[in-house]
Amino acid sequence: MSNWTTVTEFLLLGFSDTRELQILHFVIFLAAYLAALVGNLLVITVVTTDHHLQSPMYCFLANLSILDIGSISVTVPKSMANSLLNTRTISYAGCVAQVSLFFLCCAANLSFLTIMAYDRYVAICKPLHYEIIMNRRACVQMAACSWVVASMYSALHTGNTFSLPFCHSNTINQFFCEIPQLLKLSSSDTYRRELAAVAFSVFLCLVCFVFIVVSYVQIFTAVWSIPSEQGRQKAFSTCIPHLIVVSLFLSTGGIAYTKPISDSPSHLDLLAAVLYCVVPPLMNPVIYSMRNREIQAAL
């Protein structure tokens, strides 16, 4: 025990050791990051300035865009800086901040997607009671609950991970601080901690997924009973973008966290991480703006 040293920094996995490929990685990530920033900032600006978009659905959408900016800003800029400066280091405190903020954004993202499914359910299945049920106070309470639950979820995972001693190695086989990779570096038995973390995550995702599915089953049942085709198309136009975003978020996260973790550096692990770190924040504004006529008109 006396010969062990405390880890003060970690080494992140780079996409390549070749300088030209490092610059290429920097350029690609920079383009994706700027596109995600511009797209989500446009959505936030449109929702906050256009008085036609002051309904609860668009307020939740603005929160979703804020979270997309947060999640991609936590991981991508550090990876770009490492590629540009030809380094791999991240401080212990920086790694803690990455894990905490990334899980905060992801958990809040899932919460808001669930709330948006409920909002669409009320709007389509109970249109006469929409203003009463989805009043300003209720929306503020739901948004506040999402942030509180996400903060607790993030604190649980962060505290659970960084209370472990990291003594065997400080090399993370990923381009950001990912919890499964960090657990592999611990010198203690992480089986119970890992099982508890995975069980809690699966439970949270399963509850949200079931709620979304049940909401949309009732929504589609109500939509098919609408007599006019134009009414059905209008209802679908507000539901389909949300469904696509939910599918993208859950599928990319599921692929990344259900696949086996390799003991050696793997390009498959890097690709899976890019899928759920970069693709959803980049594509969400495009999906909503392409399928939503009100946002198109406001833009």
Tell me the per-residue pLDDT of 78-134, one tens digit each, with 9 for 90 and over.
999 988 888 888 998 999 999 999 989 989 999 998 998 898 889 888 888 888 888
In three-state secondary structure terms, 12 is: strand
**What confidence score (pLDDT) does residue 2 get?**
44
Strand order in the sheet with 89-91: 89-91, 9-12, 171-172
Residue 116, token pair as written in the block? 């948006």
Query: Comparing C-alpha atoms, which of 230, 220, 241 is closest to residue 124?
Result: 220
List C-alpha distances in Å: 299 to 50, 53, 101, 274, 292.
9, 11, 30, 29, 11
Can you tell me the distance from the alpha carbon of 271 to that of 275, in angstroms, rounded to the nearest whole number? 6
The least confident of 5-9, 47-51, 160-164, 246-250 is 5-9
Q: How much is the average pLDDT of 3-16? A: 72
**What confidence score (pLDDT) does residue 193 get?**
66
Fold that domain 9-298 belongs to in CATH: Rhopdopsin 7-helix transmembrane proteins (1.20.1070)
Q: What is the pTM of this model?
A: 0.85
* Position 254 pLDDT exceeds 90: no
Can you tell me the distance from the alpha carbon of 148 to that of 141, in angstroms, rounded to the nearest whole number? 10
Query: Comparing C-alpha atoms, which of 193, 185, 132, 114 is closest to residue 158?
Result: 193
Q: How much is the average pLDDT of 17-25? A: 87
- Contact yes or no for 280/32 (Cβ under 8 A): no
Q: How much is the average pLDDT of 260-281? A: 75
Q: How much is the average pLDDT of 167-181? A: 80
The ranges assigned to domains in the chain are: 9-298
